[in-house]
Amino acid sequence: MKYAVVTFPGSNCDWDTYYAVKDVMKEEVDMLWHGDNELGKYDCIILPGGFSYGDYLRAGAIAKFSPLMKEIINYANAGGLIIGICNGFQILLETNLLPGAMLQNKNVHFICKQVYVKLNNSNTPFTNAINKNDVLNIPIAHMDGNYYCDIKTYKELEENGQILFKYSDSNGNISDNANPNGSLANIAGICNAKKNVFGLMPHPERAVEKILGSEDGKKIFLSIRNHILQSKN
């Protein structure tokens, strides 16, 4: 199997993600430049965290016009697996590959800390190695992580099982106190209706080894590998 990590001007988690895939998961991975015009054959594409184009206009707003994004949108529409982490999630929202929008954190401050997220749906390519209602300890680092959508969209997300993670406390209790950024209904990560595009604000690539404080993020990468292997059989 083969992965790709896309670098934009301002990306700063691309090499962390590359390390997680290549050195921890022991999988083949390429680094792609946002200005490329062609997309090779990949089993999964990762849009990493950072501040693409300095987050000018809005986070991810300019990155969606990068030449490679046209190919990535086609790849997603054809059923290819994509995971967007933090800024990558913001880019997926701006390209309408995922519904909703990202607002500034409720406290209008940049937040960088460990948080807990509770799994809401284990039946996806990105969560199949995690038991439903499991709680993961994964860090966040963002200024614009306050997820929002209208009521109609929210109901669709719930009904279709598209809300994959919600912020919680260590025991899995979902409350305002466990919500670090004001995100609607404590949403930390969602997928599209086809379940092949996934965006989340927490950084699983920063939680793949015990020395980092948690290896819970590795479960997301294991889920992706499980799905790819099953699809090839």
pLDDT average, residue stretch 184-207: 98
168-179 mean pLDDT: 97
The residue behind tokens 């279709």 is 160
Q: Average pLDDT of the chain?
A: 96
Q: How many domains does the chain have?
A: 1
Q: Which domain holds residue 29?
A: 2-232
Is the pLDDT assigned to residue 54 strictly greater than 90? no
**What confidence tier does 36 reach under pLDDT thresholds 50, 70, 90?**
confident
Among residues 34, 142, 191, 205, the one annotated as catalytic is: 205
Instruction: Please pick, among 86, 142, 149, 227, the residue that the annotation labels catalytic.
Output: 86
Mean pLDDT throughout 130-158? 96
pLDDT-based confidence at residue 14 (cuts at 50, 70, 90): very high
Mean pLDDT score, 53-82: 92
Q: The CATH number of the domain where 199 resides is what? A: 3.40.50.880
Query: Catalytic residue among 13, 27, 44, 203, which?
Result: 203
pLDDT for res 38: 86
Name the percent of the chain lying above pLDDT 70: 100
Residue with tokens 């290549």: 22
Please state the rounded mean pLDDT for residues 118-129: 98
Token pair listed for 58? 């809005």
Both tokens of residue 90? 């913001």
> For position 75, what pLDDT does the model report?
97
Instruction: Confirm whether 86 is a catalytic residue.
Output: yes
Q: Which amino acid is at 112?
A: C
pTM: 0.95
- Are 22 and 107 a contacting pair, CB within 8 Å? no
